[in-house]
C-alpha cells in the first residue's frame, strides 16, 4: 500500500495526465458531480457520486459504428473506429466498479463487442472507498462493500491523506507511474476507516434490504404477480432510470440520414420506451406495465438466470433519487419480495 497527502493530489493528477488522459468527478456548473477530463485547476468533487454513471467510458450514450457515403450509384463504407488510447478513471465508487463486471458479461462474451472491448482494455479504474453513504445507497444488498471497492487500484481518503492499493497488473503499473509522488505505508489508517464506514452502513435505512427472494429460475413466480399493476401505475414511461443506471445495457442501432450518406450509430435504448424492440410485427410489450416489469425482471431474474446468479443492480441509488415519480427497484423488491 502507498499513500500521498491530499495537498499533493493536484501535482499527482498532473503527473498522471502527462502520460494518459485522466478523468475524475468534478463539480459541474449545476453543482452536481460529473466525470470530466482533468485539466490544470480541476478539483476532485466532494460529492458521493456522479449523476451520470461512469458506464459512458466503455458504453457511451451514442457512438458512430460506420458511415456510408453515396456518390451516384456507388456506396463507400467508411470505417470510423478510432484507435483507443490509454486512460484512467479516478474516483469510481464500489457500486460503479461492480457495474463494469455486469457490463463485461454482456459485451465481452462471444460475440465480443470490439468497440467496448477496446475501451475496456485501455482503461484503468481507480476506485475510492465511500465514507458518507446516502440514504439511497444499498450496495450491501448485492454483496458490495462500499469500504473495499474493487478496480485496478483501490483508494481510501482520510482527512489528510489518500491511500492507494493495486489489485491487478494494470493497477501495479499505475502505482509504478505515481511511485515518485507516493510513499510506502502500512494499512492501519485504512482499516480504521473501513471499520467506521461499516458502522455507518449498518445505520442506512436500506441496510436490511435483501435480494434473496429473487434470482434465476423465478420467472414464473414473479411474472404474473398482480402487484405489477399498482407498482407501474404512475410510471411516466420516460427513460431516466435506464439512462442514469450504471448497469442498463440495452442499445439500438440506427441510421441517420445526412443527405448524402448515412451515419450508422448505436445509442442507449430504454425498455421504458414504447418503441423499444419494435419489430416488423409491432411491439412486444404494449402497455407500460409490461415495459416496467421487463426492466425489473431483467435486473432481478433474467440476468441472474444467465449469469450465475449475479444480479444486474449494484445499489448505487441513482434511480431512487432521479425517478420523476419516485418509483424504483427498492420499492419493487419490497413489494414483490415481502419486506
Partner 1 sequence: MQKVSQQQLIDKAVSLLADGTVSCVLGWTKGEFDYDITPALFTDEASLRQGFVWNDFCGANFSKYLVAKTRKCEGKILVFLKPCDTYSFNQLLTEHRFDREKVYAVGIPCEGMADIDKVKAICGDGISSIDCNGEKMAVQTIYEDAPVQVDASSVLAERCINCKSKKHVAYDELMGDEGDVIDSARFDEVAKLEAMTPDERFTFWQNELSRCIRCNACRDACPACTCEVCVFNNPKSGVENKSPANSFEEKMFHIIRAFHVAGRCTDCGECSRVCPQNIPLHLLNRKFIKDMNECYGEYQAGAEVGSRAPLVNYTTDDLEPGEVFNGRDSDA
Q: Interface with partner 1 by CB under 8 A: which residues?
A: 28-32, 34, 48, 51-52, 61-62, 132-136, 200, 203-206, 230, 233-234, 236-240, 242-244, 252, 254, 256-257, 263, 265, 267-270, 273-275, 278, 320-322, 324-328, 330-331, 334
Task: Rank residues 34 and 198 by Cβ distance to partner 1 and give the closer one.
Answer: 34
Least CB distance to partner 1 at residue 56 (A) = 10
In the complex, the smallest distance separating the C-beta of residue 273 from partner 1, rounded to whole angstroms, is 7
Tell the residue number behind the cell numbers 404477480, with chain if given: 225
Which lies closer to partner 1 via its Cβ, residue 196 or residue 221? 196
**Phi-psi sector, 103: left (phi>0), alpha (psi -120 to 50), beta:** alpha
Instruction: For residues 304 and 301, give the distance between their C-alpha atoms in angstroms, rounded to a whole number.
Output: 6
How far is residue 71 from each of residues 79, 254, 268, 332, measured CA to CA in Å? 17, 21, 31, 53
Q: Which long-range contacts (CB under 8 A, 24 or more apart) does 27-30 make?
A: none
Q: Which is nearer to partner 1, 187 or 326 (CB)?
A: 326
> Of the two residues 150 and 201, which places its CB atom closer to partner 1 in the complex?
201
| Residue placing its CB nearer to partner 1 in the complex, 16 or 204 | 204
CB of 35 to partner 1, least distance (A): 12
Min separation Cβ 319 and partner 1, Å: 10
Q: Which is nearer to partner 1, 11 or 66 (CB)?
A: 66
How far apart are the C-alpha atoms of 188 and 183, rounded to whole Å?
15
* Residue 110 beta carbon to partner 1: minimum distance, rounded to whole angstroms: 27
Q: How far apart are the first and last CA of the chain?
A: 41
Taking the least distance from each CB to partner 1, the nearer of 70 and 274 is 274
- Cβ at position 138, least distance to partner 1 in Å: 10
Q: Least distance from C-beta 201 to partner 1, angstroms?
A: 10
**What separation in angstroms does the CA of 94 have from each of 125, 206, 240, 271, 314?**
11, 17, 22, 26, 9
Q: How far is the CB of 230 from partner 1 (least distance, A)?
A: 8
Give dist(CA 328, CA 317) in Å, integer.
9
For residue 88, whether the previous peptide bond is cis, meaning omega lies within 30 degrees of 0, is no
Nearer to partner 1, 34 or 310 (CB): 34
CA atoms within 13 A on the CB side of 235: 30
- The DSSP code sequence of 242-311 is HHH-SS---EEEEEEE-SSEEEEEEEE--TTSTTTT-BTTB-S--SHHHHHHHHHHIIIIIHHHHTTT--
Buried b (16+ CB within 10 A) or exposed e, 163-179: bbbbeeebbeebbebbe
Unique residue bearing C-alpha cell 425482471: 297
Amino acid at each position: 500500500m502507498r499513500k500521498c497527502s491530499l495537498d499533493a493530489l493536484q501535482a499527482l493528477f498532473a503527473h498522471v495526465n502527462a502520460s494518459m488522459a485522466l478523468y475524475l468527478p468534478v463539480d459541474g456548473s449545476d453543482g452536481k458531480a460529473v466525470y470530466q477530463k482533468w485539466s490544470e485547476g480541476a478539483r476532485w468533487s466532494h460529492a458521493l457520486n456522479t449523476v451520470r454513471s461512469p458506464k459512458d467510458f466503455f458504453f457511451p450514450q451514442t457512438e458512430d459504428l460506420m458511415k456510408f457515403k453515396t456518390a451516384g450509384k456507388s456506396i463507400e463504407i467508411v470505417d470510423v473506429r478510432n484507435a483507443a488510447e490509454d486512460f484512467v478513471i479516478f474516483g469510481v465508487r464500489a457500486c460503479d466498479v461492480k457495474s463494469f463486471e455486469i457490463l463485461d458479461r454482456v459485451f465481452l462474451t462471444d460475440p465480443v463487442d470490439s468497440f467496448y472491448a477496446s475501451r475496456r482494455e485501455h482503461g484503468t479504474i481507480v476506485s475510492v472507498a465511500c465514507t458518507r453513504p446516502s440514504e439511497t445507497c444499498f450496495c450491501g444488498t448485492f454483496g458490495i462493500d462500499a469500504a473495499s471497492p474493487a478496480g485496478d487500484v483501490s483508494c481510501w481518503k482520510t482527512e489528510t491523506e489518500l491511500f492507494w492499493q493495486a489489485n491487478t497488473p494494470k493497477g501495479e503499473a499505475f502505482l509504478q507511474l505515481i511511485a515518485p509522488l507516493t510513499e510506502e505505508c502500512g494499512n492501519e489508517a485504512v482499516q480504521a476507516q473501513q471499520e467506521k464506514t461499516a458502522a455507518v452502513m449498518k445505520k442506512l435505512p436500506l441496510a436490511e434490504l435483501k435480494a434473496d427472494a429473487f434470482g434465476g429460475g423465478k420467472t414464473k413466480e414473479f411474472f404474473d404477480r398482480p402487484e405489477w399493476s399498482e407498482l407501474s401505475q404512475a410510471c411516466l414511461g420516460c427513460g431516466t432510470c435506464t439512462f442514469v443506471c450504471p448497469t442498463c445495457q440495452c442499445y439500438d442501432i440506427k441510421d441517420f440520414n445526412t443527405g448524402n450518406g448515412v451515419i450508422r450509430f448505436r445509442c442507449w435504448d430504454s425498455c421504458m420506451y414504447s418503441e423499444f424492440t419494435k419489430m416488423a410485427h409491432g411491439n412486444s410489450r404494449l402497455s407500460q406495465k409490461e415495459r416496467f416489469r421487463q426492466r425489473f425482471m431483467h435486473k432481478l431474474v433474467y440476468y441472474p438466470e444467465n449469469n450465475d446468479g449475479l444480479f444486474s443492480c449494484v445499489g448505487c441509488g441513482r434511480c431512487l433519487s432521479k425517478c420523476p415519480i419516485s418509483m424504483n427497484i427498492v420499492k419493487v423488491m419490497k413489494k414483490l419480495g415481502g419486506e
